[in-house]
Amino acid sequence: MTESPSVSELHQRIKTDQPHTARIWNYWLGGKDHYEVDQQAGDQIRELHPGIGDYAQADRQFLGRAVRHLVTDAGIRQFLDIGTGLPTADNTHEVAQRHAPESRIVYVDNDPIVLAHAEALLTSTPEGRTDYLDEDLRNVDTILEHARRTLDFSKPVALMLLGVVIFVEDDEEAYGIVRRLMDALPSGSYLVLSHTITREDMPDVDAAVAFWNEHGTPKLTQRTPEAVTRFFDGLDLLEPGVVSCNHWRPDTDGELPAEVAMFGGVGRKA
């Protein structure tokens, strides 16, 4: 079931004359759901920071490895994915149901572009189920109320927050949102979170984010790796901790690729 505005309301919310982070992300992932203004902005950002397009790939691959681990090794069968982004290859439900067809997934996003493509997120195996909610991350109570229609909160749930808390500027508000969401989930639940970082040895990232915040929407907030790790306070942080997304349990035993400024981690609620 999808809760959505009318078609006319949806079109009014979509601004095609201003670059948008979800569409630029889609462009960097090689998708087709973007406009020329997004491609131009994406290319300009890439000029400021040539490796920034790799973040999208690293984040998507991190999602795949984390979901696969949670399903195959931790026995998780329920996912609450907030800040879904535009549908692309290996969405959360596709990875989860590939290994456990009975998995249930609730997607949440307040982006009209994502909502317009939500049907692609609502495919499911007959054994499982997917659902979509058009809602802002800050409206925790509404999200939890809706999620309970599909997910059983007496059993562990994986909370997926990939590249979404970067849109909450105030630190205490951001930490509070994550804490309230995790407090509602039972023991054995997991937090999977990724976040754009700022670090002295990556000054070009700061320049790219500054360009984006001047020209694009919504605005982004960077945090240090230490500040990102704080989102996992009170949880058992899985090895290797909060690291560059392409360094989180990579599918290779060889030399690790260069770090990207998108860091992520997985933590378990005791």
- Mean pLDDT, range 173-197, rounded to an integer: 98
- Residue 147 phi, psi dihedral angles, 5° rounding: -60, -35
Contacts of 99 (CB under 8 A, 6+ apart): 68, 71, 72
Contacts of 203 (CB under 8 A, 6+ apart): none
Task: Report the alpha-carbon distance of residue 242 to residue 230 in Å, rounded.
Answer: 10
pLDDT of residue 36: 83
Strand partners of residue 265: 193
pLDDT of residue 258: 85
pLDDT of residue 7: 45
Task: Report the alpha-carbon distance of residue 127 to residue 105 in Å, rounded.
Answer: 12
Task: Report the alpha-carbon distance of residue 220 to residue 207 in Å, rounded.
Answer: 12
pTM: 0.86
- Evaluated on CA atoms 17, 18, 21, 27, the torsion sign reads positive
Task: Decide if pLDDT at 246 tops 70.
Answer: yes
> For all residues of the chain together, what is the average pLDDT?
88
88-115: pLDDT as tens digits: 778 999 999 999 999 999 999 987 777 8
Lowest mean pLDDT among 32-36, 72-76, 169-173: 32-36
